[in-house]
Amino acid sequence: MIVTVKGRLNVTTPGTPVPLSTDPKVTACRLFFQVVPGLTGKTYVGMPGMNKATLSGVIRVLWPNSAGGFSETFSVESQNGTDSIRVADYVVDADVAGEGLLSSYWTA
């Protein structure tokens, strides 16, 4: 497998989700998200058009880890190990401007 490290994906304006990719042709067999230690607000993983206020389109809410230590993670994997996950179908939002998640994806 080949890993693509997106690094820290920051949200400039809370309520305006940031896509993992803008290219609908990019696919993966696994996506990974991790809370960044030291940040203060909740972050959200969801579908394009998600609304964190109503939780519409939100797949997972990740809680901050402002004190450090264990950081919450979330991953999505294809059932058959093939590149069937469209990366552009996933977005990140945050409660605090300039905060976000670490993210990576793998291709077979």
- Domain residue extents for the chain: 2-107
pTM of the model: 0.92
Residue 103 in contact with residue 32, Cβ under 8 Å? yes
User: What pLDDT was estimated at residue 16?
Assistant: 96
Domain 2-107, classified CATH 2.60.120, yes or no: yes
Q: What is the DSSP string of 27-77?
A: EESEEEEEEPTT--S-EEEEEEEEETTTTEEEEEEE---TT-SS--EEEEE
Asked if pLDDT for residue 14 goes beyond 90, the answer is yes
The token pair that represents 76 in the structure block: 């999505």
Asked if pLDDT for residue 102 goes beyond 90, the answer is yes
pLDDT in tens, 41-97: 999 999 999 999 999 999 999 998 877 777 889 999 998 888 999 999 999 999 999
- When pLDDT is averaged across residues 19-24 and rounded to a whole number, the result is 95
User: What pLDDT was estimated at residue 82?
Assistant: 87
